[in-house]
Amino acid sequence: MNLSQSLVRTRDGLQSRLHLFIVVIALMGSLLIGASTVAWKVAGEQRKLGAAYTQTLGVLRSANAIKIASLDIIRGERGYLLTGEDDYLEPYRRGRHNLRVAMGLLNGQAHFADPGSVVAFGHLQGEIDNYTERLEQIIQLASKGHGAAAIRLVKRNESKLAIARIDRAVDRIIQSERDRLHQISREVDRATQELLTFIYVISFAGLCLLILAGLIAIALYRSFERERHYREELKYRAETDELTGVANRRQLLASLDRAIAAARLNKTPLSFALVDIDNFKQVNDTHGHAAGDEVIRHVVQAGLATVRGYDTLGRLGGEEFGIILPKTSELNAYAVGERLRDQIHNLIVEIDDGVQISVTISTGIACLTAEDDAALLMERADRALYQAKRGGRDQVKLAA
């Protein structure tokens, strides 16, 4: 797989991981929306339960008031029968009034969730009507002097039986309200349990998603690192000579343009050296291209050991090299060229079969003038190199 294919594969991997990350975020959002919905439902059920508690409490109070009022009525009626005093009619009248009020409240408060409670309320209303009518009849008989007839009605125990029936009807309504309250409580419990289950699911899913998000983040980081590495490698290959590792022709020319601009901006000297290996074709023809490549590598290593850290050595092609020497005058550039020529002159390259090869170099140097651009500077250095070749090679020449 070449570098371009690796870069494309990395990009596709990044896209798939980004899609997965988006899906993870969407899933988490859905879970949170679901939890909010369930929480809203639970809150509604709790409000419903609170209202039901309030309503049931009102029913219990009204039911208790009905029972108390029923007893007040009969207590006033019996006191009047026994004493004949009108003062005992006051509890009787107050009881009847309280009974009407309590029945009105009960009718407005009771939910009557099932048909049985509706029937019970109807029975309760009928029993109360019969009860109060019968007691009123007894009171009327006693008030008109028919005490014996009133006593006979009392001895039938119909009032006691009526109170028992009233109590049963009231208890039936109370039980209906309690059943309804219990049902609402179960609904609240069920909704609460659903919420808790949802919270557990969200917590577990959140943990899983957190782990997954961490893994995705790590994968994305590694993918980005691989992409950065591939891009750096592409840049390195685009700017570097594959054989020697120094700047290639394009990068060297770009560096020369920048160096010229900096020299003119800072008003500092700039020199350019053009180096060529002498009789390099003979090396290739005699020892092969592998030996020629080895010679080129050794020449470049010698050059890197000679120039400064901010100088730029690059391969222009074949056996020809260029050296950019910022802040270097013509004489100093000549000294650099001589040092490099001496290094190469004494260089012995040993190839695989034990054969030793020695080479020399010719160098042409040009110093930047006001009229020079990169092309003209290189052309002047090339003319100086041509003079060095014609002068016998293994020498350094300065451009005119």
User: C-alpha angle with apex 363: 360 to 364, nearest 5 degrees?
Assistant: 165
Domain CATH for 114? 1.20.120.1730
Residues 180 and 113 in one domain: yes
Work out how many domains the chain is built from and give that number.
Answer: 2
Domain for residue 306, yes or no? yes
Nearest in space to 311 (alpha carbons), one of 372, 362, 363, 247: 247
Residues 91 and 20 in one domain: yes
Which structural domain, as residue segments, surrounds residue 282?
249-398
Residues 147 and 275 in one domain: no
Nearest in space to 278 (alpha carbons), one of 394, 153, 109: 394
pLDDT-based confidence at 370, cuts 50/70/90? very high
Domain for residue 385, yes or no? yes
Q: Which residues pair with 312 in a beta bridge?
A: 324
Domain ends where: 210, 238, 269?
A: 210
Are 204 and 12 in contact by the 8 Å Cβ rule? The answer is no
Q: Say how far apart CA 28 and CA 150 lie, in whole Å.
A: 80
Domain for residue 362, yes or no? yes
Query: Which of 142-156, 158-172, 369-383 is the least confident region?
Result: 142-156
Are 389 and 276 in contact by the 8 Å Cβ rule? The answer is yes
Q: Say how far apart CA 191 and CA 198 lie, in whole Å.
A: 10
Domain ends where: 154, 182, 210?
A: 210
pLDDT-based confidence at 3, cuts 50/70/90? very low
Domain ends where: 183, 210, 237?
A: 210
Residues 121 and 179 in one domain: yes
Query: pLDDT (tens digit, 9 = 90+) per residue, 250-308?
Result: 999 999 999 999 999 999 999 999 999 999 999 998 888 999 999 999 999 999 999 99
User: Residues with Cβ < 8 Å from 310, sequence gap 6 or more?
Assistant: 326
Q: Say how far apart CA 148 and CA 131 lie, in whole Å.
A: 20
- Provide the token pair at 281: 């074709």
Domain for residue 21, yes or no? yes
Domain for residue 203, yes or no? yes
Residues 176 and 28 in one domain: yes
Cut 0.75: pTM above it: no
User: Residues with Cβ < 8 Å from 319, sequence gap 6 or more?
Assistant: 276, 277, 280, 292, 296
Query: pLDDT (tens digit, 9 = 90+) per residue, 297-338?
Result: 999 999 999 999 999 999 999 999 999 999 999 999 999 999
Residues 279 and 201 in one domain: no
